[in-house]
């Protein structure tokens, strides 16, 4: 017995060592690949942030300085004062927040009707899905003409209305999923106690599915924040959003106003960062149905 | 029990009442404008000419399909952007998903960090990259010079071909993480026992990738590719910022071309017709996708 053990031991350790080396090399390559991916996917953000913090000294230095020696907020200050950046940032915030709430308020009862009473059957769900796939370019031409006739161009109301409605199909679709997971018994109890449907929905269902509502709300917020085509056509000098503001920095070839442009990009991507972390678990579902596109 | 059933019995009007606010809004703000646009596409309404217009039948559609070289150019450009973008997003996304699916540390934080680009608006992504492509102060030329990869300040938007390459690069940066997330979810739904069984039978990792991972991932791949394809046919914001269709219209996509016809030339009727052709294209893609997935289900059953 002993002899056998000693005879196989060296071979065994050799094999163990080889597999260990292989595993070690494998995980080394894995981390190397992921590190490369991080550099590629986050590098642009790093560069934009550092550029926005560079003063002239750092910006024009040769060889280029990747990290500013004397960080300054001068570009942000100029963006806010000269380019009305603060106003447009506020516009984006206002339009996104109000559209988000309006979309939720309108979509929730509809989703409830579909989830509890199968309202509209499969047909309604299909219609909602098709509306979700509808290219924005098909909608903007008639909407622009109608808004022009009603005096709704260059108005917050017009933009918020459009964003709210365009977002309904997506919000309903997500909310139906959350409502189907909700136990009917709790609602029944409230109904027996003499609540009306609407009261039961607001007082009993809403507090319990609040996390789901938050998910839908955040997706709605980021989608309207990111939306560009409707905004660029329908807004004017007072109602521009951040997405429209950056277009004013693109004139003048590829070497343009780096300072203010980079500062506005930093402000423009800020909500995306926040929401990406808040929504980690739901990203696939949301992105798949165009959750981040208006 | 009886009381519960009684309470749950709905009033006849309730489902409709609950659903009606959204339905009314959708009818007014989406369906009505679309119907209006369809009738508009049968006329010759041109804002730069005047408010009057007359019925011209399908003339706008026949013009687009048979006489409009620019439209077909934009179809070609869109295809030229979609094909390499999809292929590379799929390959890179699958690679990243496989890496993230290994036994690694800090997986969730890495996934979250890599998932940021698709949350950013196409406009902001394009703006950041436009600055990165900047001739003198852009990061790309400067990194290239420092590493000795290039020896002159390179203008990335001077030639049609390189402009397309630049657009595809930004598109890949923007949406590969989406592919990665969807495929990672697909990978995680494959039962681990299959791999253990394969290993016990002496299969190499390479063999189990080809005979377990890929076949089981096929459907996820099809769904993800389809979603990206439909999305890419609407490519607009990225083009608007990065190239504005240039140089010489070589990066004009169908959506961007329609936008220019509508809001630069003010040919509202013609732009409506073009937009309905895009809708038709997206619809055909969606149907093709549904057909493919039905086929697959039928074969599996």
pLDDT at B246: 79
* Polymer length of chain B: 301
pLDDT value of position B6: 42
In a domain, A73, yes or no: no
Q: Are B269 and B122 in contact (CB under 8 A)?
A: no
Q: Say if the Cβ atoms of A133 and B282 lie within 8 Å.
A: yes
pLDDT of residue B4: 45
- pLDDT, tens only, A233-287: 999 999 999 999 998 887 755 455 788 889 999 999 999 888 887 877 776 666 6
* CA dist B75 → A93, B119, B126, B153, B189 (Å): 36, 27, 21, 32, 37
d(CA A26, CA B104): 11
pLDDT average, residue stretch A70-99:
89
pLDDT tens, A27-61?
Answer: 888 999 999 999 999 999 999 999 898 877 777 77
Asked if the C-beta of B8 comes within 8 angstroms of chain A's C-beta atoms, the answer is: yes
Residue B44 parent element (H or E) = none
Q: The dihedral of CA B122, B123, B125, B131: what is its sign?
A: positive
Q: Do B29 and A143 touch (CB under 8 A)?
A: yes
Average pLDDT over residues A58-85: 81
pLDDT average, residue stretch A144-170: 94
What percent of chain A is predicted at pLDDT more than 70?
Answer: 88
The answer as to whether A207 is a domain residue is: yes
B25–A contact, CB cutoff 8 A:
yes
pLDDT bucket at A191, cuts 50 / 70 / 90: confident
Q: Mark which residues 211-230 of B lie under 8 Å from A by CB.
A: 223-224, 227, 230
Please check the confidence at residue A13 and state whether its pLDDT lies above 80: no
Separation CA B19–CA B285 (nearest Å) = 30
Judged by CB atoms closer than 8 Å, whether chains meet at A269 and B120 is answered as yes
Helices (H), chain A: 2-52, 56-59, 74-81, 85-117, 121-133, 136-150, 156-180, 184-192, 197-200, 206-208, 210-226, 229-234, 242-245, 258-278, 283-288
Nearest to B123 by CA among B228, B240, B227: B240
Cα B82 from Cα B75, distance rounded (Å): 10
Q: Does A161 touch chain B (CB under 8 A)?
A: yes
A22 shares its domain with A137: no
Q: Does residue A75 lie in a domain region?
A: no
CA A227 to chain centre: 10
Query: In order of start, what are the domains of chain B with their CATH numbers?
Result: 69-300 (1.10.3720.10)
- Picking from B122, B127, B166, B219 by the largest number of A CB atoms within 10 A of its own CB, the best residue to mutate is B127
Tokens coding B262: 């509508």
Do A94 and A51 share a structural domain?
no
Question: Residues near A161 by Cβ (< 8 Å), separated by ≥ 6?
Answer: A152, B29
Q: For chain B, which residues score pLDDT lower than 50?
A: 1-7
Residue B164 forms beta bridges with which residues? Answer: none
Q: Exposed, middle or buried, B271 (CB in 10 Å: 0-12/13-18/19+)?
A: buried
Q: What is the mean pLDDT of residues A199-214?
A: 86
Chain-centroid distance, C-alpha A198? 30
Both A93 and A161 in one domain: the answer is yes
pLDDT for A49 equals: 93
Verify whether the Cβ–Cβ distance A44 to B132 is below 8 Å. yes
Q: What's the token pair of residue A167?
A: 């977002």
Note whether A124 and A267 are same-domain residues: yes
Q: Are residues A140 and A196 in the same domain?
A: yes
B252 neighbors B260 (Cβ within 8 angstroms): yes
Are A47 and A163 within one domain? no
Q: Which helix (H) or strand (E) holds B210?
A: none
As for the ipTM of the complex, it is: 0.89
SS3 A289: coil
Is residue A134 domain-shared with residue A246, that is, in the same domain? yes
Q: Are residues A134 and A17 in the same domain?
A: no
What's the rounded Cα separation, in Å, for the pair B61 and A182? 49
Does the beta-carbon distance from B236 to A229 stay under 8 Å? yes
Is the CB of A172 inside 8 Å of chain B's CB atoms? yes
Residue where one domain finishes, among candidates A10, A44, A59: A59
Q: Is A246 a domain residue?
A: yes
A15 or A237, higher pLDDT: A237
Domain of residue A129 covers: 84-288
- Tally of domains in chain A: 2
Confidence label for A193 from pLDDT (cuts 50, 70 and 90): confident
Segment holding A119, helix H or strand E: none
- Per the structure block, which two tokens stand in for B141? 């030329």
- How many CB atoms are closer than 10 A to CB A263? 27
- The full length of chain A comes to 294
pTM exceeding the 0.90 threshold for the entire prediction: no
| Cα–Cα distance measured from residue A115 to residue A108, given in angstroms and rounded to the nearest whole number | 10
| Burial tier of A203 (Cβ tally within 10 Å: 0-12, 13-18, 19+) | exposed
Q: Which of A215, A205, A223, A128 is nearest to B19 (CA)?
A: A128
**Same domain? A44 vs A137:** no
Mean of the per-residue pLDDT values for chain A?
Answer: 84
Residue B230 near residue B286, CB atoms below 8 Å: yes
Is A3 a residue whose pLDDT tops 70? no
pLDDT for residue A8 = 57
**A21-34 pLDDT, tens per residue?**
877 888 888 999 99
From chain B residues 229-248, the ones with a CB under 8 A of any chain A CB are 230-231, 233-234, 236-237, 240-241, 244
Bridge partners of residue B43, in order along the sequence:
B55
Residue A128 lies in a domain: yes
* Opening angle at CA A31, ends A26 and A35, nearest 5: 150
Is the domain of A47 the same as that of A127? Answer: no
Domain of residue A179, CATH code: 1.10.3720.10
Q: Is the CA virtual torsion B146, B147, B153, B157 positive or negative? A: negative
- Under an 8 A CB cutoff, do A114 and B19 touch? yes
Q: Is residue A66 part of a domain?
A: no
Subunit contact A272:B16, Cβ cutoff 8 A: no
In this structure, the answer to whether residues A44 and A116 fall within a common structural domain is no
Specify the residue for token string 């990165």.
B132
A266 plus A158 within the same structural domain: yes
């Amino acid at each position: 017995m002993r002899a056998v053990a000693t005879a196989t031991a060296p071979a065994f350790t050799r094999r163990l060592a080889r597999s260990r080396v292989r595993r070690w090399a494998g995980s080394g390559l894995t981390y190397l690949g992921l590190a490369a991916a991080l550099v590629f996917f986050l590098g642009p953000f790093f560069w934009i942030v550092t550029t926005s913090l560079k003063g002239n000294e750092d910006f024009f230095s040769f060889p280029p300085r990747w990290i500013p020696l004397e960080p300054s907020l001068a570009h942000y200050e100029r963006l806010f004062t000269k380019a009305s950046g603060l106003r447009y940032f506020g516009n984006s915030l206002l339009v996104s927040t109000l559209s988000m709430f309006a979309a939720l308020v309108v979509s929730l009862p509809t989703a409830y009707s579909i989830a509890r009473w199968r309202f509209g059957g499969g047909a309604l769900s299909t219609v909602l899905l098709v509306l979700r796939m509808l290219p924005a370019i098909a909608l903007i031409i008639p909407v622009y003409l109608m808004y022009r006739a009603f005096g709704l161009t260059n108005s917050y109301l017009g933009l918020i209305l459009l964003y709210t409605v365009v977002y309904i199909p997506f919000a309903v679709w997500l909310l139906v999923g959350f409502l189907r997971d909700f136990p009917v018994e709790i609602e029944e109890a409230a109904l027996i106690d003499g609540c009306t449907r609407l009261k039961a929905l607001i007082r009993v269902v809403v507090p319990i599915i609040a996390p789901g509502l938050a998910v839908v709300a955040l997706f709605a917020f980021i989608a309207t924040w990111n939306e560009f085509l409707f905004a660029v056509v329908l807004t004017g000098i007072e109602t521009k959003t951040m997405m429209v503001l950056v277009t004013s920095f693109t004139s003048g070839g590829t070497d343009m106003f780096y300072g203010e442009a980079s500062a506005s990009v930093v402000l423009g991507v800020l909500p995306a960062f926040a929401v990406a972390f808040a929504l980690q678990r739901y990203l696939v579902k949301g992105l798949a149905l165009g959750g981040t596109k208006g | 029990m009886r009381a519960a059933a009684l309470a749950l019995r709905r009033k006849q009007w309730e489902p409709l009442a609950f659903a009606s606010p959204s339905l009314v809004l959708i009818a007014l703000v989406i369906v009505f404008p679309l119907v209006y646009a369809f009738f508009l596409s049968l006329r010759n309404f041109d804002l730069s000419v005047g408010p009057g217009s007359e019925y011209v039948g399908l003339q706008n559609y026949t013009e687009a399909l048979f006489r409009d070289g620019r439209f077909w150019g934009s179809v070609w450009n869109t295809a030229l952007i979609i094909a390499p973008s999809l292929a590379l997003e799929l390959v890179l996304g699958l690679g990243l998903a496989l890496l993230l699916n290994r036994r690694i540390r800090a997986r969730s934080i890495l996934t979250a960090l890599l998932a940021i680009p698709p949350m950013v608006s196409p406009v902001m992504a394009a703006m950041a990259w436009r600055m990165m492509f900047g001739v003198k102060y852009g990061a790309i030329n400067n990194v290239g010079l420092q590493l000795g990869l290039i020896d002159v300040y390179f203008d990335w938007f001077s030639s049609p071909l390189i402009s397309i390459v630049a657009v595809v690069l930004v598109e890949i940066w923007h949406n590969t993480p989406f592919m990665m997330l969807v495929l990672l979810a697909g990978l995680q739904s494959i039962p681990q026992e299959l791999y253990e069984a394969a290993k016990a039978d002496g299969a190499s990792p390479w063999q189990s990738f080809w005979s377990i991972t890929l076949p089981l991932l096929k459907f996820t791949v099809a769904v993800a590719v389809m979603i990206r394809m439909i999305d890419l046919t609407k490519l607009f914001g990225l083009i608007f910022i990065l190239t504005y269709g240039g140089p010489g219209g070589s990066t004009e996509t169908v959506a961007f071309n329609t936008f220019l016809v509508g809001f630069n030339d003010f040919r509202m009727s013609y732009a409506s017709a073009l937009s309905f052709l895009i809708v038709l294209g997206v619809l055909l893609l969606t149907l093709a996708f549904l057909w493919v997935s039905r086929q697959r289900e039928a074969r599996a059953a």
